[in-house]
Structure 1
Amino acid sequence: MSPQNLSETNEKVALVRLASHIALWGNLFLASLKIGTGLLASSLAVLGDGIDSSTDVIIALMSLLVAGIIARPADRKHPWGHGRAETIATTILSFILFFAGAQLMLRAGERLFSLGDTRVPPPLVLVVTLCSILGKLFLAWSQMYLGKRANSAMLKANGKNMLGDVVISSGVLIGLALSILFHLPILDPLVAIGVGLWVIRAAISIFWEVNTELMDGNSDPELYQALFEAVRSVPGTVNPHRARMRRIAGLWDIDLDIEVNPELSVREAHHLASLVEQAIKERVDGVYDIMVHVEPEGEAESHPTEQYGLREGDEK
């Protein structure tokens, strides 16, 4: 890893730790407030909102653990470094959210079909839920802002989850207000079921996003276009092929083959490959490593159906 990438990694670790501490203590306060209020007021909607915030506490603890792992330098067992820990943690996060949402829906379903339950939550739950909305707005902003600065998929996913929490709490607030105003106890479990569905939807969305990185995929054709444009900008290099890009902790690991004049010396061909690497770094932000394989011009024609990577034109 280059000194520049090492500096970027250290800065990322510091930002992840800061965001994690903010999320940890903020969500711990909100979760305690909502779970306590939900139990005292017998409101499944508020209790479910609190359970959702408690999962954010677990996420924050996980983020702190991951920050320590990704800060470790590459070693013999992990020559690409430890950045994949963030991807794994984000995947675990999606499963935690999914099961929390499913558990809430089960409890709400039991309450919904429980005959004779006519309890209506007290007005206090409205004040608590409103405070939760304001607190979550701040926490969501902090995670998205620091996630963007750190280029952290985990923090961005957490910020997205917290924005979803704002929507959840807003729905809870409206449902509780209607329940209290019109004395409709059935609205409390119905709102709780809606909260559970929203949490499950967010979990599935996060899983599919991180799955692309976990499977070494890249769905952005513009990045490959920038890659091929970089090759075209270097005179003497042609036919970029077997191009592959994958993310490692927010940085790009890039492999590609190029062709050069077969009469060039090894030193001259290496110089052209170095120019291609520099041209790529000028066009693609956040490059972790680049591997440029040099072939004599016309060599790729003997392998028309290569199994791996993209040729120029495949990205369109």
Structure 2
Amino acid sequence: MKNREKILIRASWISIIGNAALSISKIFVGIIAGSIAVLGDGIDSATDVVISIVTLFTARIVTRPPNNNYAYGYEKADTIAAKVLSFVIFFAGMQMLISSGKNILFAVPRDLPSIIAIYVTLFSMIGKLGLAYYQFRQGKLAGSPMLIANAKNMRNDVIISAGVLVGLFFTFYLDMPILDSITGLLISLYIIRSAINIFMESNVALMDGVKDTSIYNKIFEAVEKVPGACNPHRVRSRQIGNMYMIVLDIETDGELTLNEAHEIADNVEVSIKQNIENVYDIVVHIEPIGKHHSEEKFGLNRDIL
């Protein structure tokens, strides 16, 4: 846990410093070069600084051990952080959308942006690629979906910067400054779309769901491989951080001893962990074969998949 905390904190600090440098350079150049697209790209990088600060704060929370109030620990803090960040990103996108829209609707006369805007955009793309690669590697090493999501967000920033570069090229080539504003408008829509996607994805974990529903087929297949284990039902799975919590009922011969039934349950746990990665805990409830089941409110059966 301590090693994981160090990785999360180090990766967060590197992200803060790197994004701050890129953001300041793009905002400064965007202002002096007169490029709304570059300025918008700089604002987007500024939101990445905020994201990294939240990531740093969250990194110190998710590694806390369970206690009386939070028996499952604090792993879901990264999901809550993602929800907060979606609002931050959405606000930045809306600000840029309004600014770009005003420039297009009111057609304010503008000079062509300075050529330096192209150079800072190229520099930004290289820097973002490096940060994204580092965040992804550290996220895999620490098993942190928060860092991996941050890496994907930075990868999207490279796409945004590429869009800025294309917009600048056509702005200079066609001698039409309004194309810079149009590029800024398109980038703002992309930022808003990213914010909505992050918001929706975080709902899954907060609602005790799973993103990859194929996990249920894997659970049923794992149980079927265990001799003596029959009719898996009332299967429930949820995610805490990047770990799965699985609960299910199985049936066994009612004449078995407690030790024999317990051994079958242990074998079910082993089989599931061999078929599914990142399983934190499994609870197996054993029932005699043929016991009458009343309709249950929660859980999945094989026949409804």
Same fold (TM over 0.5): yes
Displaced runs of 4 or more, over 6 A:
none
Determine the structure 2 residue equivalent to 1:190.
Answer: 182
Map 1:58-73 onto structure 2 (within 5 A). Answer: 58-73=50-65
Check if 1:261 corresponds to 2:253: yes
* Distance in 2 between residues matched to 1:185 and 1:56, nearest whole Å: 28
Distance 1:275 1:116 in 2: 72
Would the aligned equivalents of 1:46 and 1:172 in 2 still touch at CA under 8 Å? Answer: yes
Query: How far does residue 180 in structure 1 lie from its aligned partner after superposition?
Result: 2.5
Greater Cα shift, 168-177 or 48-57: 168-177
2:74 to 55, 77, 82: 82
Q: Which moved more, 1:206-215 or 1:99-108?
A: 206-215
2:120 equivalent to 1:123: no
**Aligned to 1:302, which of 269, 288, 293?**
293
Q: Distance in 2 between matches of 1:157 and 1:100?
A: 18
**1:41 has 2:2 as partner:** no
- CA positional deviation for 1:106: 0.3
**Could you tell me whether the CA contact under 8 Å between 1:260 and 1:296 is conserved in 2?**
yes
Cα distance change, pair 63–186 in 1 and its aligned pair in 2 (3 A): same
Deviation at 1:184, TM superposition (A): 1.0
CA offsets, 1:90-123, max 9 Å, x none? 1112221111111100011112233442221111
Query: For the structure 1 residues 218 and 116, does the alpha-carbon distance in structure 2 shift closer, same or farther, using more than 3 Å as the test?
Result: closer
Query: For 1:59-208, what aligned pairs fall within 5 Å after superposition?
Result: 59-208=51-200
Deviation of the 1:11 alpha carbon: 4.2
Secondary structure at the aligned position of 2:39 is classed as helix
9-18 or 60-69: bigger deviation: 9-18
Alignment CA distance shift 1:206-1:307 (3 Å): same
- TM-score, scaled relative to structure 2: 0.95
Between 286-295 and 264-273, report the one with greater CA deviation.
264-273
Task: Report the Cα distance in structure 2 between the residues aligned to 1:19 and 1:208, rounded to whole angstroms.
Answer: 25
1:241–1:309 contact (8 Å) kept in structure 2: yes
1:12 aligns with 4
Length-normalised TM-score, structure 1 = 0.91
The answer as to whether partners of 2:251 and 2:287 remain within 8 angstroms in 1 is yes
Q: CA deviation at 1:148?
A: 2.7
Cα deviation for residue 307 of structure 1 reads 1.4
The residue number in structure 1 matching 2:217 is 225
1:208-245 superposed Cα distances (whole Å, 9 cap, x missing partner)? 22221221112434321221222222222111111111
CA distance in 2, matches of 1:265, 1:232: 21
Deviation digits for residues 28-85 of structure 1, max 9, x if unmatched? 1000100111122222111100000000001111111111101100001000000010
Amino acid at match of 1:71: T
**Which whole-Å deviations, capped at 9, do the CAs of 1:109-145 have from their partners, x for residues lacking one?**
1122334422211111111111011111111222222
8 Å CA contact 1:157–1:206 kept in 2: the answer is no
Relative distance call for 1:221 and 1:108 in structure 2 (3 A) is closer
Q: What is the number of residues matched between the two proteins?
A: 305
Secondary structure in structure 1 of the residue aligned to 2:137: helix
Does residue 14 of structure 2 align to residue 27 of structure 1? Answer: no
Q: CA separation in 1, counterparts of 2:300 and 2:253? A: 22
Which stretches in structure 1 are left out of the alignment for 5+ residues?
1-8
Once the 2 structures are TM-superposed, how far is the Cα of residue 267 of structure 1 from its aligned partner? 2.8
**CA 1:10–1:275: 2 relative to 1, 3 Å:** farther
Deviations 1:167-224 (A, max 9, x none): 1111111211222233211111111101101111111222222221221112434321
Give me the whole-angstrom Cα distance separating, in 2, the residues matched to 1:148 and 1:71.
16
Q: Look up the equivalent residue of 1:308 and give its one-letter code.
A: F
> What residue number does 1:244 align with?
236
Match for 1:203: what amino acid?
A
Partner of 1:5: none
1:312 alignment partner in structure 2? 302
| 8 Å CA contact retained: 2:33, 2:115 | no
TM-superposed CA distance for 1:10, in Å, is 4.1
Q: Secondary structure at the match of 2:304?
A: coil
C-alpha RMSD of matched pairs (Å)? 1.6
